[in-house]
Amino acid sequence: MTKRSCLSVILAAGEGTRMKSALPKVLHQIAGLPMVAHVVKAAQAAGADGLALVIGHGAEEMRKAAQKFAPGTECYVQEKRLGTAHAVLAARDGIAKGYDDILVMFGDTPLIDPAALAVARGKLAEGAAVVVIGFRPPSPTGYGRLIEKNGRLVAIREEKDCSEDEKKIGFCNAGMMAVAGKHALDLLDTVGNQNAKGEFYLTDIVEIAGARGLEVVATEASFESALGINNRAELAEAEGIWQQRRRREAMLSGVTLIAPETVYFSHDTEIGADTVVEPNVWFGPGVRIASGAKIHAFSHIEGATVASNCDIGPFARLRPGADLKVKAKVGNFCEVKQATIEEGAKVNHLTYIGDARVGAGANIGAGTITCNYDGYSKFFTDIGEGAFIGSNSSLVAPVTIGKGGYIASGSVITESVPEDALAFGRARQRTLPGKGKELRERFASAAAAKKKAAG
């Protein structure tokens, strides 16, 4: 079968005033990705060769965003908002290129299932001129009804125009359509604006096509797939649905989620089988977890790579550039950023490792920090294989701790340490008998005087 070409026209020109935001509605995120980017991914998964993004409010911001999540997307500006058919025609130049299929989608439906789009395209391949994607909401109130007769779609009726019998129809318009490319512009150009609002409605092409004897049919998507986002509450609802889907997918692929409802994934999280994730773990964008890792409770991971059989947390934070090799450990209340923790190395507790390498088998004691920033520039710390860094040590970069090096607890290390050397970097302790009591009495007297003076 010859592959059919497809253009997806994504309508994203709405202002989204109900979001109460300066950010264009479709750039609000689900799982760390703008909702319109989810729509783009669905279109691509359904086989779209070209992407036409119709923008309006926040046009420049939308252009810049589109180049990040969908390079090569053609952006078209709808200067005036005169209805959905008018919006689609903003992409006239793209439609005129001669694609077999035209998918019309909305940038605020981030949960659309690519399979539903593929089914609609399949109907075009079978000879339909227009395919309307419908759904069955829990309550049809407020939605346009799909009026079918003998298996054909004859009209989309807005609720205010429905008869009492038509109001009982539960099959509603999801807004998305697939249109045969050879008919698309002719149908769209025929749409008029003789209605109360004086707008050009995309839904009118159903009756226009039917009147010409062209085949018009409806297909069905799930309610969740057709869910449109208009405000922050609906955004949160969509996030919840997306997360629920992703958690189930992870568990079915061999990942253990002890309390699934408390684990949050990003759109691009990769997590291997036999990984165990304890409650209240957050995966930000850019995370890759290999098989057999254990992620303890209350950990936050973003932009990090974790190899097999690593042990993370609890209360660990892996920031962008963290790279943990096989069997590495980053324990409780530790933060790692732009650093490599080599095989079997341990960063157990209360530690910051940034712009550094921790060699294989090295041990980093509690309270250790790499002092990587001087207020202007960042510097690198290299900790050799098998090194031991005593508790409460500060390693002032740039500095190298050689293989097998040993740093005494409480040290401030400002110079490199050779292999197998022992380094101290602390002042000699002095003990002054009785001075502790004297100091407390002096401080107490000063505090009492201050209190008295204050009245």
The letter for the amino acid at 93 is D
The letter for the amino acid at 69 is F
Q: Is 349 a catalytic residue?
A: yes
CA torsion through residues 41, 42, 47, 51, sign = negative
Long-range contacts of 247-255 (CB under 8 A, 24+ apart): none
Which residue from 106, 26, 82 is spatially nearest to 59, judged by alpha carbons?
A: 26
CA torsion through residues 195, 199, 204, 209, sign = positive
Give the 3-state DSSP-derived string for 309-361, with helices as H, strands as E and coil as C: CCEECCCCEECCCCEECCCCEEEECCEEEEEEECCCCEEEECCEEEEEEECCC
CB 173 within 8 A of CB 145: yes
The letter for the amino acid at 226 is A
38, 57, 296, 349: the active-site residue: 349
The letter for the amino acid at 26 is V
Phi, psi dihedral angles at 241 (to 5 degrees) = -65, -45
Query: How far apart are alpha carbons 125 and 49 in whole angstroms?
Result: 16
Q: Which two tokens stand for residue 309?
A: 């059989």
Q: Which two tokens stand for residue 370?
A: 């790499």
Distance of CA 217 to the CA centre of its chain: 34
Catalytic residues: 349
